[in-house]
Amino acid sequence: MKWEDLFRKQYLAAKDIPVSGITGVIQRIEIEDVGGEERPKDLKPVLYLEGVEQGITVNLTRHEILENAWGEDSDNCIGKELKVTRGKTLHMGKVVPCIVFYAVSPPTKVTDPNVTVVN
């Protein structure tokens, strides 16, 4: 057994997402201190899907997907269907794994024509 499997992780990482992705209903979004001992008081929004124990931290890119699909009030996201997949992004000059959001429920407001709604 891998050492990392012995410890419960509070938040999902890209490597935790199955290749096929996860599609679920947004249960809640909360502000949490995600910094741990190294960076205390690192407050970020964390999204929870129904039936998934761990949360997903919402960075600026994921926030833009949510806001463009369902408006500027995070409460509008509750009950909406979201697909979460693995992706790649550039971070400090290196290609690294990341978590990607796709709005599945129809948008309540579309301000960006580049937002993809998956059916």
Answer yes or no: is 74 within a domain.
yes
Answer yes or no: is 112 within a domain.
no
Answer yes or no: is 89 within a domain.
yes
Question: Model's pTM, two decimal places?
Answer: 0.81
Residue pLDDT, tens place only, 75-104? 999 999 999 999 999 999 999 999 999 999
Domain residues for the domain of 92 are 3-103
Answer yes or no: is 11 within a domain.
yes
pLDDT block averages, 10 residues each, the chain of length 119: 66 93 97 80 93 94 95 94 96 95 81 59
Please give the mean pLDDT across all residues of the chain: 87
Answer yes or no: is 36 within a domain.
yes
Answer yes or no: is 114 within a domain.
no
**Edge-first strand listing for the sheet containing 81-91:** 56-57, 43-49, 22-33, 81-91, 94-103
Domain count of the chain?
1
Q: Calculate ∠ Cα 112-99-71, nearest 5°.
A: 30
How many residues does this entry show for the chain?
119
Give pLDDT, residue 2. 67
Answer yes or no: is 67 within a domain.
yes
